[in-house]
Amino acid sequence: MSRRNIVIAVVAGLLVLAGAVWFFFFRSDAPPPASLEDAIESVVDDTEAPSSSESADTTAESADTTAAPDTTSAPVSADGLDGTWTVDQSNSFAGYRIGEELASIGTVEAVGRTSDVDASLTFAGSAVTDLTVTVDMTTLESDRSRRDEALASRGLETDAFPTAVFVLTEPIDLGNAPGEGEVFVASALGELTLHGVTNPVVMELEGSLVEGTVVVVGSTEVTLTDYDIEAPTGFSVLTIEESGIIEVQLAFGQG
């Protein structure tokens, strides 16, 4: 083999090795931003998934041509929205999204989420009069356990500040109470308490009434210094962007 071919083979091998190292150690498995489409799909899939007993009942009914008609209750109507709705954690999450520069890799998006969310939503006619979201920050998980462990004592310092809270401070007038399948968009003025600091924020919301569930996704941009958060840099993390996104996906059931 000529020297030129040897050089080409070595370079090719190094490229393959570098690609393998990136894939196994540095690639980002961060999920995409919260979206109403994904949230609705999650709720619908959860609603339609039959339990083992339901599957058995369905099989039995298919064999009996005289089975009783379906008596499943109809979805909640717009007139029935009034009152307080509580969160279903199985289809809900809250978390952060921020860019970080890794040594020899470049900028990636760090995303951490938790389903440990306590939230309530109150409708009165066509208005949302109350929205409170409390998040257990100690259970945030990303695609890197080392990052999650670091945030316990640095950055978000979740050991010292274990919860984050958003509280609506002004009613949201939707114009009309949403009907089944209708999408609503709103700006929620509220206060966000993060890292022990409370600031006014605007949470951009998008939601819909889907099969008796009020599905809401929202996000707001936060600047780290506004919450006295010092970016946790180190040997592998060179820099972290000054601002990040707080995002939520919330599924509410009535009562």
CATH number at residue 190: 2.40.128.110
Please say if the pLDDT value at position 62 is more than 70: no
User: Are residues 143 and 86 part of one domain?
Assistant: yes
* Other C-beta atoms lying within 10 Å of the C-beta of residue 188: 21
User: What residue spans of the chain are helical by DSSP H?
Assistant: 3-21, 36-48, 52-63, 145-150
Contact 215, 40 (CB under 8 A): yes
Same-domain check for residues 94 and 199: yes
pLDDT of residue 65: 44
Q: pLDDT-based confidence at 63, cuts 50/70/90?
A: very low
> What is the model's pLDDT at position 4?
58
- Specify whether 15 is located in the same domain as 120: no
- The answer to whether residue 62 is domain-embedded is no
Reduce the DSSP state of residue 136 to 3 states and report it.
strand
Q: How confident is the model at residue 15 (pLDDT cuts 50, 70, 90)?
A: very low
185 with 85, same domain: the answer is: yes
Check whether residue 104 and residue 5 sit in a common domain. no
Residue 38, pLDDT above cutoff 50: yes
User: What is the per-residue pLDDT for 234?
Assistant: 61
Domain assignment present for 187: yes
> Could you tell me the two tokens for 244?
């990040």
Q: Is the pLDDT of residue 107 over 60?
A: yes
Q: Answer yes or no: do 25 and 117 share one domain.
A: no
Tell me the per-residue pLDDT of 81-98, one tens digit each, with 9 for 90 and over: 999 999 999 999 999 999
Do 36 and 128 lie in a common domain? yes
Are 180 and 248 in a shared domain?
yes
4-13, 60-69, 99-108 — which is least confidently predicted? 60-69
The reported pLDDT for the residue numbered 100 is 81
pLDDT for 20 beyond 80: no
Same domain, residue pair 7 and 131: no
**Whole domain around residue 201: which residue ranges?**
31-41+76-254
Percent of the chain with pLDDT over 70: 72
Provide, rounded to the nearest whole percent, the portion of the chain with pLDDT above 90.
62
Kindly state whether residue 71 falls inside one of the protein's structural domains: no
Q: How many domains does the chain have?
A: 2
Same domain, 24 and 128: no
**Assigned domain for 11 exists:** yes
**93 in a domain, yes or no?**
yes
